[in-house]
Structures are given as structure tokens and as C-alpha cells.
A and B are shown apart, each in its own frame.
Chain A
Amino acid sequence: MNGARTLAGWLTDPPEDAGLVAGAERTRLALRALELGLPTARDEAWRYSRLEGLAEEELMLAGEGPAPTAPQLTALTPEGVRVDRVVVVNGRLMPELCEIGPLPAGVGFGSLRAMARAAQGGLKEAADLLERLDSLCRPDQRMFSALNTALAGDATGLWVPDGVRLERPLLVISLVLPGADALLTQPRLLVVIGRESQASVMEAHGGFGPTPYFCNAVSEFQLGAGARLEHLRVQRDSPAGRRVSGAFLRVEAGAHVRSHTFTTGGRSVRNEFQLELAGAGARGEVNGLALLSGESVVDNHTHVTHLAPDCESRQTFRSILAERSRSVFTGRILVARDAQRTDAVQSFAGLLLSDTARALARPQLEILADNVKCTHGATVGSLDPDSLFYLRSRGIPKALARRLMIHAFCSDMLGRVRTSEMINPLDRLVTRTLAEQA
């Protein structure tokens, strides 16, 4: 049994069984994470995330957790629909809670550690998947990626070979259930979708209880040519939870990815999105909806890179901010010299429900090609009093009219989701969150 230590303490002397890579590589990444260090208040890109005091905080390295309650598990599971799911509690896979039905031939879904054993046993697909670990999340430049690879207990892997269409969505439920001690958890997801294949993957992250925790999530997605992926991510953190969440997506020629992140709660949630449109005609959509109240902060950073011609990117972010919550959106689009006929759109809208809520949008465009269409827009406002009066004048009580308008503000975000099984659970989440905040 380990006692609590600081992040540096864990990195200096990692426990034997931690980490997704072994031996010298693990040691190298731990040292690299130490070298890079946590961002400080002087770090411009991090000045809005609330990571103060994290370096000094004594954390338990996630390990065995209590069994989650049924509501914690089912909150985000579509009702009456078969989905294959992996359940991770405090960073540890819970085999007894996983439900993975028969999958098409060649598809692998489950524990990355189990896959590593399979790879040693000679399973080529497992070896191929493991080879892609860390190939997008830049552990040599990004401290949180190095930290995750060096110390994560396990990860979830998905391998879809070429030409396979998965009919059912795959669900990864990742819960943080701290006991008395503050906790460090590091969910990790590695997804490889083969050429002309199709899948829908949902990550459901939840943190519960009054104990502080720091959750450092890393998800990597590679889409082969012509592949289709919808990635859904729901993050429901407790007011004591801090989260840094990275989604790294690389899309080859003609492939399409749609990634949606729904953030509710949390003391501080940092969402980083890295989208690389690497082959001609690739399309990527990155959407983020945050519903916040109290003192919550969401800090969304996107980094969309157009590397090839004729690619399309869409970024749509919405934040609904009650009480003293805050939202920051920093959206970066980089169009490489060869990425002619790029079509990139970025939009942020903030809805302030109180005088003390704040929203900030910072578009950053860097365009090196000459034939591109690149637009961005940001609006911040409060509920329109004329609309509110219109609804009330028809007999709809004020609180309900407000909820209706707030729901309307985010309805187009739900409307972008294509995985039909997930639309109702997401709508319920939004409705419930709004009701709780009312």
C-alpha cells in the first residue's frame, strides 16, 4: 500500500506496476514529465486553468476503488440499447462490470495491458495497436501526456481493422470515486480505426464525492483513409475535482471524425483538442458544450492543423455559465502551405446567466496557404428579455421559460450528434444539469 505523494514524488520513483510502457522508456518519460514540470501562473497558455497548488498536493496514485453505485454507472448509459462497455474505476479496469459482446472478427476492445499480454503471445493486431501509443499526444513536449504514460495503471484500447463497420456504440465509463485521500487518476484511451471502417466511441467520465482529485485523461484517435468516427465525451466532475483532458485526433485522406465534449461541473476542467487533418479531403468536427455553475472553470484549447488540401474543419463551442463560473475558449487553426482550399470554421458562443459569470474567446489563426476559407466568430450574451417575456406572456412560468431558452441555446449541439442511441442520454444529462442549476 502506497502512501500519498506529490506528482513529483510519484514521477521520481514510480511504483513497479504503474505505467503503460516498461523499463527504460517508462523511466525516460517520468524524467521528461519532471523536466517539463507543471504549468505555472506565468504560462500564458495555462493562465485560466486552475492548477495552483497541484504541485504541492499529496495524492494517492489511483488504485482499487469502491464498486460504483448503479446510478453512477447508468447515468450515461442509453436505456434499452445494447452497448459494449468497459468500466474503469479510479484508473483500474473492473472486469466484472465490463460487458463486451461478440464483436466483428479482428476487432479488439478492452484493457491495453491485456492486449500487451496478447501481443507477447503473438497477436499481431494487439502489437500494432500498442505501437501507436503516444504517437499523437506528444509526451516529449506535453507534460500531462508523459505523466499519463509513465504512471497510468491501465488503458482502454480499441482496434478496428480495415473495412469493418461497428453497428453498436462502444462505451468507456471512467469513474473517480475517491475515499478519504486526494486522488490522481489517469484514464487513457487509444483508438485506431482502419481504412474505410466506422465506429462510435463514447467516453463517460464522472467524479463523485467531496474529496479532491486530479484526473489527467489522454485519448488518442487515428483514423485510416475513408474511416468514420464519432467520438462523444461526457465529463461530469464534482466541485472538488480538477481535470486535464486531452483528445488527440489524426484523420487520413477522406476520413471524417466528429468529436463532442460535454462538460458539467468540476473545479477546473481543461479540455485540449488536437485535430490533424493529414490527408486530402479529410473532415474534422470538434464540438464542446459546457454547463457550469458555482466556481467552475472550463478552459477549452483547440489546435486544428490543416496539413493537406481540400480538408474541412468545424469547431463549435458553447458555454452556459451560471453563478461565478468561467469559460475560456482558445481556438487555434493552422493552415499549412500545402493545404490549399482549406475550409475552416470556428465559433464560440457564451450564455451568461448571472452578472458574475465570465466568458472569454481567443481565436488564433495562422494561415500559410493562399487559397483558404477560414472564419471565426464569438458572441457572449445573456438570455434575451424579449424572448423571455414572449414565452411568459403565453403562460409559461419564468423558471420554465428560462430553462426552455437555455436548452434551446444548446439544442444545436445535441443536434450535431449522430449516434442515435446517445442522443437521449445526452439530452437527459443536459436537462438534469440545467434543472440542478436552476
Chain B
Amino acid sequence: MLQIHNLHASVAGKEILKGLTLDVKPGEIHAIMGPNGSGKSTLANVLAGRDGYEVTAGDVLYQGRNLLDREPEERAGDGIFLAFQYPVEIPGVPNLYFLRMALNAQRRHRGKPEIPAEDFLRLVSEKLKLVHLEDGLQKRAVNEGFSGGEKKRNEIFQMLILEPRLALLDETDSGLDIDALKIVAEGVNAMRSPDFSAVVVTHYQRLLDYIVPDQVHVLAGGRIVKTGGRELALELEKCGYGWLTQEVTA
């Protein structure tokens, strides 16, 4: 599904990722943990194609094809979804209007016809229940006046509507109380299938109690310094990152 090899990336001339290698197979969920500034969000943004992130070496294959020369909208059309750490408020653009436009753009990209209005509305009401969001919010502008938790749940809601093949969750758990965290996890778990993979970037292992990862990676100094099963997350919770970063610098 996703193969990252020796990825180096800079932001504003400063190298953040320094040779990251990662292989995510179809159906797998990978958690990326690590201290602040280790490059977790940079990885998510590079994969989604955000401007300002310069890849200086290495390559990324998505479904066997070079990902890095694709535009963000092409990546989305090909099935990549980024759940933002800080979802953006876009005044004047109604949420549902935006989401239908996005879904139809992706369908066009895949050579499929636009979704009929009724089917879309049925899909919306079905998925809204999963994330416990009120109908009323969807009539508002994108994320405008949403609470922090509502914004994160709205990201998961969009993911459920757009049905990506690869989801990148950039600290979707930050700032969430335990109930909201469970809702986010349920959303991701609802997507689980042999064709769906996810890279879950998180600072805390708490989320991984609910989204059980196949692999846990520790990112430090722009590289993956340790990989293990879900028990690694528990170990990190207990001992912190200190001992790992010391290993890197040593």
C-alpha cells in the first residue's frame, strides 16, 4: 500500500525527516509515536502533499506508484486522506456542499459518475450517527464555530464519507476527552478492512487502546528508531521517549 524509503524532507530549509523508511501493507494500521518536533506531522503533511515541505531525497510509493509528483487533489482521488491536526475553518463554504463537491471530484477522478443527491444525504445521515455529530453543524460553514472535539469528529466524518484506502491521522486524539476519543476510534475501526490502511500519528498511547495497531514505530530525530507491536506503545507510556532518543544520539 505505502512504501517509504529513506525519506528526507525539509521545511523552510531545515531538515526534519532524515532517512525515514516505512512499509504499510494493505489492511494494516501503523502507529507513529515520538516526542514533539520528531517529524510526525511533517511525515503526514509530506504524504498529503502540502506546500512548503521539500523532499530532498528518498522516495514514496503508494499502490506501487510514485506518490511525490502527484498534486494533493490527485492523492485524495487515489484514496489518501489526511485527518488534520488543526482542521481549518472556511467561512462561507457550507460543510455539506464542500463534502459533496469533494466526493464528486474524487468520483470523477476515479471515472465514476457523481453521487445522486438522495444517496449522498442518506450516506451523510448514516455516517453522522457514527461520529455523534448533529445534523445542524453540517449546514454551517466548514468547521466554523465547531468546538475542538467537533472539528476532530468532523474529520473522521469526512473520512467515513470519502472512504479512503489510506488514512493519515495527524494527532487526531489531541485535545479530546475520553468519549470523543472513543468516537474517533470507532470511526477508524468502522473503516477497517483488508483494503484499508492507516498511519496514526499520536503523542499518547491512549488512542491505541481503542485503535489497535499492527505496528508501532517510534520516530525521533527524523528517523524511525524503534518498531514493535502494540506493547511498545505501553512501554513508551511507562518510560517516556528519553531512553530512545538517547539511543539515537549515542
Contact = CB atoms under 8 A, between A and B. Distances in A.
A346 B99 CA distance: 34
Given A404-B93, A404-B101, A408-B93, A396 B73 contact: yes
Contacts of A42: none
Given A404-B93, A404-B98, A411-B92, A389 B50 contact: yes
A407 interface: yes
A397 B73 contact: yes
Interface string B150-176: 000000001000100000000000000
With a 10 A CB-CB cut-off, give which of B87, B92, B105 has the most chain A CB atoms. B92
Contacts of B48: 393
A386 B71 contact: no
Interface in A157-199: none
Given A393-B49, A395-B73, A395-B105, A387 B158 contact: no
A394 B90 contact: no
A412 interface: yes
A390 B87 CA distance: 8
Interface stretch (B12-20, B31-39, B76-84): B76-84
A394 B102 contact: yes
With a 10 A CB-CB cut-off, give which of B49, B90, B98, B101 has the most chain A CB atoms. B90
Nearest to B102: A394
Contacts of A408: 90-93, 141
B76 A405 contact: no
A409 interface: yes
A409 B90 CA distance: 10
Contacts of A396: 73, 98, 101-102, 105
A405 B71 contact: no
B195 to A, nearest CB: 18
With a 10 A CB-CB cut-off, give which of A395, A404, A411 has the most chain B CB atoms. A395
B109 interface: yes
Given A390-B84, A400-B105, A395 B76 contact: yes
B54 to A, nearest CB: 15
Interface residues of A, number: 23
Contacts of A405: 90, 92-93
Interface in A380-438: 384-387, 389-398, 400-401, 404-405, 407-409, 411-412
Contacts of A401: 73
A113 B39 CA distance: 76
A412 to B, nearest CB: 7
A4 to B, nearest CB: 46
B106 interface: yes
A401 B98 CA distance: 10
Contacts of A395: 73, 76-77, 102-103, 105-106, 109, 162
Contacts of A394: 76, 81, 98-99, 102, 105-106, 158, 162
A409 to B, nearest CB: 6
Given A390-B84, A390-B88, A404-B101, A398 B73 contact: yes
B51 interface: yes
A392 B101 CA distance: 11
B88 A386 contact: yes
B72 interface: yes
Contacts of B82: 393
B129 to A, nearest CB: 21
Contacts of A386: 88
- Chain A interface helix/strand/loop/mixed: helix
A391 B98 contact: yes
A397 B70 CA distance: 12
B88 A387 contact: yes
Nearest to B106: A395
B156 to A, nearest CB: 13
Given A392-B73, A395-B109, A400 B51 contact: no
A236 B3 CA distance: 54
B101 A400 contact: yes
Contacts of B142: 390
Interface string A363-393: 0000000000000000000001111011111
A390 B77 contact: no
A171 to B, nearest CB: 28
A125 B84 CA distance: 65
B92 A387 contact: no
Nearest to B104: A395
With a 10 A CB-CB cut-off, give which of A384, A390, A398, A400 has the most chain B CB atoms. A390
Contacts of A409: 92
B51 A389 contact: yes
Contacts of A384: 88
B76 A393 contact: yes
A436 B82 CA distance: 32
A389 B93 contact: no
A116 B141 CA distance: 52
A398 B49 CA distance: 13
Interface of A: 384-387, 389-398, 400-401, 404-405, 407-409, 411-412
Given A394-B106, A396-B101, A404-B93, 5 more contacts: A385-B51, A387-B88, A405-B90, A405-B92, A409-B92
Interface of B: 48-51, 71-73, 75-77, 81-82, 84, 87-88, 90-93, 98-99, 101-103, 105-106, 109, 141-142, 158, 162
11 contacts: A387-B90, A391-B93, A391-B98, A393-B48, A394-B162, A395-B103, A396-B105, A398-B71, A398-B73, A404-B98, A405-B92
Q: Which 6 A-B pairs have the closest CB atoms?
A: A408-B92, A395-B76, A394-B102, A395-B106, A392-B72, A390-B88
